[in-house]
């Protein structure tokens, strides 16, 4: 399942098929996904070097028009921040799958690709006349990745199978909101869309595993991730707590039910994340606080003792932190005790770690001389590169016939 990549010529935009080799170099992916969860899946694969081609309806991915756009950007080019961030390094062809011509062209592409990914509601591909079974007939080695709110009947029919789902629904039903919120029990959703992003990450892993299997056996397969299931897996702690202890875990604010200290705490000028559940960390923290005797105090000597007296531990820390700026706390504890400032976007852009790790990537913004910045790839390799391989595509920027000719070479 390895093919020669298509090197970009001088002046052409870099895409996931560019010659900067990644570990998935030569893997051909048809991306029928929209919004966030599915495009995040294929974004990860594009960063890893796969040749990812978005197959878009005539109106394009819904997020093309969402923005945000900078002053002076041309919204008609439909490359706002939402779309650019998770569709970088891909190509785009337009097919109307509601027509016979569109589905036949899709089948032509399926015959020579390795992976198809979609995140439609259940049975949409069946209604279009191109379900997994038909695609597998024309390409038995095809890996087919599906991401839905409640999974697919092929791997386990859910009573909620036909329900639509978005990120916040997955956070709610998968247990995240049941354990995340204020200490008095009010649920608070995650800032980032983890109900989309974590399922998308798991689907990317499943696709890579299935591609390896297909390379060794010639057998394709259906890979299915449910948003509900993925969030439940993310919240694995609530399952074993309920099983071992018979409790129903509830939100704990910023603390942890099994570790102490483990909290987000106010300083004189901001907030700091501070965790010292290991006893040697607590010893270092007690010394930094000017209270070394706390390390041997029977109330605080072990993590189990500190959990039993968590409110007293928190009070001790609050008394100490109110006299210090965040930077002072980090200077005192950094390198010895797990600690970090609560960064905003401006702090992240200025952080030398982010620069050293290549986590801010600039890409071209068509219609403007000024590039835009999106997040880089967090997956690093010593021999094969994983990185942002160029901007997102304009709608229909690539041609199906030309793509088929290229993939036939």
The residues with which 56 forms a beta bridge, in sequence order, are: 94
341 with 347: CB under 8 angstroms?
yes
Residues 213 and 115: their CA atoms lie apart, in Å, by 13
Structural tokens at position 74: 């041309």
Helices (H) and strands (E) in the chain, counts: 17, 11
Q: What is the distance between the alpha carbons of residues 398 and 388, in angstroms, rounded to a whole number? A: 19
Which residue, 106, 113, 56, 58, is CA-closest to 83?
56
Q: How far from 163 is each of 20, 135, 150, 169, 178, CA to CA, in Å?
A: 41, 25, 8, 11, 21
DSSP string, 129-164: T--HHHHHHH-TT-EEEEEESS--TTT---TTTT--
Helix axes 227-234, 236-245, angle to 10 degrees: 60
Return d(Cα 303, Cα 307) in angstroms, integer.
Answer: 6
Measure the CA–CA gap between 14 and 371, rounded to whole angstroms. Answer: 14
Catalytically annotated residue among 152, 196, 224, 263? 196
| Known active-site residue 74 | no
Question: Residues 192, 36: contact at Cβ < 8 Å?
Answer: no
Per the structure block, which two tokens stand in for 326?
């965040």
Distance CA 234, CA 251 (A): 15
Catalytic residues: 196
């Amino acid at each position: 399942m390895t093919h020669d990549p298509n090197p970009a010529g001088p002046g052409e935009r870099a895409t996931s098929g560019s010659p900067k080799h990644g570990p998935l170099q030569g893997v051909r992916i048809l991306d029928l996904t929209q919004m966030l969860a599915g495009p995040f899946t294929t974004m990860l694969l594009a960063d890893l070097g796969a040749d990812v081609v978005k197959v878009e309806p005539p109106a394009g991915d819904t997020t093309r028009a969402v923005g945000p756009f900078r002053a002076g950007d041309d919204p008609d080019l439909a490359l706002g921040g939402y779309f650019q961030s998770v569709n970088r390094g891909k190509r785009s062809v337009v097919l109307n799958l509601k027509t016979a011509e569109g589905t036949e062209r899709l089948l032509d592409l399926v015959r020579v690709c390795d992976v198809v990914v979609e995140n439609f509601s259940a049975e949409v591909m069946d209604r279009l006349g191109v379900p997994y079974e038909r695609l597998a007939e024309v390409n038995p080695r095809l890996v087919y990745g599906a991401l839905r709110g409640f999974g697919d009947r092929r791997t386990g029919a859910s009573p909620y199978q036909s329900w639509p789902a978005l990120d916040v629904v997955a956070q709610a039903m998968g247990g995240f909101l049941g354990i995340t919120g204020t200490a008095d029990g009010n649920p608070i959703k995650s800032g980032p869309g983890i109900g989309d992003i974590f399922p998308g990450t798991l689907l990317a892993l499943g696709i890579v595993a299935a591609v390896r299997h297909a390379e060794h056996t010639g057998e394709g397969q259906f890979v299915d991730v449910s948003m509900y299931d993925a969030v439940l897996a993310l919240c694995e702690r609530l399952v074993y707590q309920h099983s071992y202890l018979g409790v129903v875990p509830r939100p704990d604010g910023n603390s942890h039910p099994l570790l102490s200290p483990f909290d987000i705490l106010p300083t004189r000028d901001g907030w700091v994340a501070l965790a010292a559940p290991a006893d040697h960390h607590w010893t270092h923290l007690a010394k930094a606080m000017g209270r070394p005797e706390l390390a041997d105090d029977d109330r605080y000597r072990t993590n189990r003792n500190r959990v039993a007296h968590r409110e007293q531990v928190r009070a001790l820390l609050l008394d100490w932190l109110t006299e210090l700026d965040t930077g002072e706390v980090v200077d005192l504890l950094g390198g010895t005790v797990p600690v970090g400032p609560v960064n905003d976007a401006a702090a992240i852009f200025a952080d030398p770690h982010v620069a050293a790790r290549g986590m801010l990537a600039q890409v071209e913004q068509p219609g403007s001389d000024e590039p835009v910045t999106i997040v880089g790839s967090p997956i690093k390799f010593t021999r094969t590169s994983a990185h942002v391989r160029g901007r997102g595509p304009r709608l229909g920027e690539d041609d199906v016939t030309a793509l088929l000719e290229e993939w036939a070479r």
